[in-house]
Structure formats: structure tokens, C-alpha cells
Amino acid sequence: MPTQKLQQSLFLKACRREPVATTPIWLMRQAGRYMSEYMAVRNQVSFLELCKRPDLSAEVTLTAREILGVDAAILFSDLLPILEPMGLHLEYAQGEGPVIHNPIRTSTDVDRFHAVSDMSSLDFVFETVKRVRKDLPADIPLIGFAGAPFTLASYAIEGGGSRHYLHTKKLMHGDAAAWDAVMSRLTDSLINYLRAQIEAGCQAVQIFDSWAGCLSPHDYRTHVLRYSKKIIDALPADVPLIHFATGNPALLPVIRETGGAVIGLDWRVDFDAGWEMVGRDRAVQGNLDPVLLFADWPVIQREAKRILDEAACRPGHIFNLGHGILPGTDPEKVKSLVKFVHDYSAELAASR
């Protein structure tokens, strides 16, 4: 159970759509390659080793939160390590990103893909959560996360990144039994994984459906919705869940059907229109284009102001980017954005 200070934090109050004096802000990929402090740690180890070292993962999580002054920390980890105990051979190849060396392409391949109920092989994640929670300020929540079933299935089937999701859609449309087996095993594993993060000390969790944008609303509703909804419905009702599916604003109404206390908006939809699509009875998160952080400061300030003006101090807005901070972003602009959101939103709230 979160302490009173955590319950009254700006972030958790916004998740519950309660009025706040200042709009909370945190940023996806706030610990990342744009930050010299992160690179000083990252250069010591491989990316996968960094994810599996609780001491280092906790360090970069805490450092980013402190430097930026954001209103929540997000666990430093990755979407894909959960695929290893399920039977896949994962490697982060230099310059190529994640590679699955034994992807799932046929119903026979599905037989070696197993749901994980014993989370001990992922203890490094939960140990990181415990370390971060111990050292975070008492009023700063910690966000855990996982990939959504569709996004993880796509990695598992494609073997890595993809432009057209040829193998994924071929299995999804062509072999209903194999598709259900993959998605069901992922769903059951993710329920256990997110519950364990919450038990270890996370006050909220986010589901990233980073690749769902390749789907039509019909295909999402037919082949994906029930699996993500099962995860959301299985988690504690008093722990806010942020549901973030990027790449296709047409999915927002069906994302609402799937569930989530907070719905993430990417930059491909105007903020107020996106909130209307998911419903005013939901909190929303977003949605500045990450590329705008490469612009001059007056442009960044103008666009952040536009989003805050559209939010109009309605309860339930968490400021964030429309996706993660990009490598090469100037950290000083990120810090300035955080300060501006705090200062300008406080002025707006005080004037009402």
C-alpha cells in the first residue's frame, strides 16, 4: 500500500483524475543515451548486462529522476528480457538492436514457447525495483512497465524490428490456434511479471504497445484486444495502469475499450482531440513530439504551452512526450521543459 505522501503525489493524483496545483511530468526514456551520466554507466557494460545489474539499473533510474526533477521515476529495464525464460534466444547486436535468433514462425515453433509462472529468472528486475523504491524521495512514485502482448509477439515472430510485420500478420491471420497460443502465453506471463513489479514496490505500471500502430482498428479488436484487456483486468484496481499504443490515432477508441486508468497519446494526434477520443472520464498522458526537443527553446516552449492550454487544467493530465527521448537530445532542453511545465501549469491553475 503506498504511503500517504505517495498517494498525494502529483503523479498519482493525476492518474486518479484529482485536481492538482501543478501538472505532473515524467518522460519516456528519461534515462537514456542523451544523458552523459547514463553513458558513463552504459559504457562499462553491454545493454543487456545493464538491464540485469540491479545496482546499475537502479543508479541510472535514480540519477535521471533527480537530474530532471520529474514527478515520477520509471524503472530502467527493457521490454524483451521476459522472452528469454519463455524459450527465445535474445541478443542485443551492436548497431542492430535486439535480435531473436530462434523466432516463432510456425505452429511447431510455438511448442517451444512457454508461459512463465515462476518469476525467479527475472529477479534482477524486482531487485532493481526494491533498490529504487528504497532510495527515491518519499513523494515520488515509481512506474514499472512491460511490453504489451502484441508488441512482444511481433518481436518474437519477426526476430527483431520490422517495417511491414509480414511474419506476424501471416501468423495472426493464417493460424488462429498458433496466434492464440503465443498471445495467451505472453498474457499469462505478463500478468505475473507486472504483479511481481507491483509487489516489489511500483506504484503504477505502463504497458507499451509500441508496434500496435501497424494494425487497423478491426484487426486490433479481433486479434489483440482481449489479451491486453485480460492483463489490465487482472492487476490490482488501486494501481494505476498507463496504456500506451503508438503509431495510429485511429486505435484510440479501441484502446479505451481495452482499458487503462491513463491512456497515452503520441504526437500524431492533437492533444485535445485525443482526449476526446479516449473519453474525458480517463486520464491522459502526452504528447509533445520528441523531435521538437531538437528545436530552439522558443519553439519547444510554444508547443508545450499549446498542449497545456488545450489541457486547460482539467484533472487527469500527465505531461509527457509522444514517445521516448531521442539520442542526441540536449539534456538542458529537457530540464528546461520540465521546469516550464511545472511553472506554466501552476500559473494556469492559480488563475482559475
Active site positions, annotated = 29, 33, 42, 78, 155
How many CB atoms lie under 10 A from the CB of residue 175? 15
DSSP helix/strand/coil, 58: helix
How many whole angstroms separate alpha carbon 290 and alpha carbon 270? 15
Q: How does strand 317-321 pair with strand 283-288?
A: parallel
State which amino acid sits at residue 150: F
Using CA atoms, how far residue 340 sits from 14, 69, 309, 332, 337, in Å, is 18, 11, 13, 12, 5
**DSSP string computed for 196-255:** HHHHHT-SEEEEEETTGGGS-HHHHHHHTHHHHHHHHHHS-TTS-EEEEE-S-GGGHHHH
Rounded Cα gap, residues 318 and 114, in angstroms: 36
